[in-house]
Structure 1
Amino acid sequence: MRSVSYVQRVALDFSGSLFPHAICLGDVDNDALNELVVGDTSGKLSVYKNDDSRPWLTCMCQGMLTCVGVGDVCNKGKNLVVAVSAEGWLHLFDLTPTKALDASGHHETLGEEQRPVFKQHIPANTKMEMGVTSWW
């Protein structure tokens, strides 16, 4: 019997450590294609797009990232990246590029460093906190 594997592999340029919940797949830039989001223990959030081994973009967060996620957390039809640190910081990133197309017809990439659109410190004695605000 012969065994065949059709799995494609990509080796990523990543150095550091990460928590089990600090990696996820999701449509970060709202283009209907999933990207890989990785948060490390130094607070660096990296987004890998397509089969590139280098990050498409990076973001710096405060503290050691323990959990990342991607979704429409504001119910506005637009995905945001959520990053939570061990020190209690919550960061929301809007990584949707501008609608302008470059000469090749592709969406232009975002700059090297992205800043969060929302950042909040969650107190340590809070069992469950649900922030419902209108900050957009």
Structure 2
Amino acid sequence: MSSNYIDILTNPIILALLGVAVVSYCLLIELLLVRHPSTLWLARVSYWSKPISTLIAALPLLGLLGTINGLLTTFNYISANHGLSQNEIMSGGISDALLTTQLGLILAVPAVVLRQYLSSQYKKSIMVLK
């Protein structure tokens, strides 16, 4: 594994993004795969609906937090070194900043699609059970 991947995996915001995404996707997939139009399944989906939506909404916000953190780190480096002396280090900070935004959006978009699909299955199941 290259040094670049190790640096990424030591970023606490990226680890938080991955953790929130894993929990969100596990819940979504479990609810979609264990789908039986029953009152128990409807109750479980109803119970998890808001927490899943909250977790999904947190993904792009965590990405934005990572962007702000990376830019602050870069600007702190600039101010500590009285200007633009080491472009490689600064571009690495900006790269990390943009990576977290990209990762937050990449993880959020499919989760939103799965959440909408779960919602449509929930609505269909309600109609079947009535």
Where on the TM-score scale, by shorter chain, does this alignment land: which range?
under 0.3
The alignment's TM-score, normalised by the length of structure 1, stands at: 0.20
Higher relative contact order, chain-length normalized (CA < 8 Å, sep 6+)? 2
Structure 1 or 2: larger helix share? Answer: 2
Structure 1 or 2: larger strand share? Answer: 1
Larger radius of gyration: 2
